[in-house]
Structure 1
Amino acid sequence: MAHWPSPGTAIDNEKVNAFKGGCILPNLLQEMTNVLGAALTCKLGQSMGGARVYVPKKIQADDPLALLLGGQDAERLCAHYAGTVLDLPGKYFFRAVRNHHLRQDYHSGTLTGSRADQLALKYGLSRRQVLNVVRQTQGANAF
Structure 2
Amino acid sequence: MSVLHELAEVIGHDAAIKLGQHLGGVRLYIPHQMTDSHALVALLGLDLAQKLSNYYQGEHIELEREPVQKA
Deviation at 1:28, TM superposition (A): 1.5
Structure 1 unpaired stretches of 5+: 1-25, 98-143
Q: Who is 2:25 aligned against?
A: 50
How many correspondences in the alignment? Answer: 68
Q: Who is 1:37 aligned against?
A: 12
Q: AA paired with 1:89?
A: E
% same residue: 34
- TM norm structure 2: 0.88
Larger radius of gyration: 1
Deviation at 1:89, TM superposition (A): 0.7
- TM norm structure 1: 0.45
- Correspondent of 1:87 among 47, 52, 62: 62
- Find runs of 4+ consecutive structure 1 residues off by over 6 angstroms: none
Separation in 2, partners of 1:45, 1:28:
10
Q: Deviations over 1:42-98 (max 9, x none)?
A: 0011000000010000001110011100001100010000100010012xx23xx6x
Structure 2 unpaired stretches of 5+: none
Cα root mean square deviation, aligned: 1.3
Separation in 1, partners of 2:40, 2:2:
20
